[in-house]
Amino acid sequence: MQKIMIRELQHNLAAVLKMVKSGQDVMIFNRKTPVARLLPADYRDRADWEDHEREIMEIFHGRTLQSQTPAGIISETRHEF
């Protein structure tokens, strides 16, 4: 992750956008405080989704739920907990 100050962003916006477009994350700082994070438009944090998927598989033991609504899922699994 690239770290830059607001002033640098103002002066080098085209170069920073080029970095982001190429796939780099950019953290923007105001003095020593982070204020924003620029990510590529197609960014998807796969590690987070993979962790969630693994947790769901552990909770439901790999079984597929029939219901598609949150209320239906709760009623299907209520007796298990």
For tokens 């998807």, the residue is 44
What local confidence, expressed as pLDDT, does residue 38 receive?
Answer: 92
Give a three-class secondary structure readout of the chain: CEEEEHHHHHHCHHHHHHHHHCCCCEEEEECCEEEEEECCCCCCCHHHHHHHHHHHHHHHCCCCCCCCCHHHHHHHHHHHC
Mean pLDDT, all residues of the chain? 81
**What are the sequence ranges of the domains in the chain?**
2-38, 46-80
| Span 2-38 CATH architecture | 3-Layer(aba) Sandwich (3.40)
Q: Which segment, 26-40, 43-57, 63-77, is predicted with the most confidence on average?
A: 26-40
When pLDDT is cut at 50, 70 and 90, the band that residue 48 belongs to is low
> What pTM was estimated for this model as a whole?
0.52
Q: Is the pLDDT of residue 63 over 60?
A: yes
Q: Is the pLDDT of residue 67 over 80?
A: no
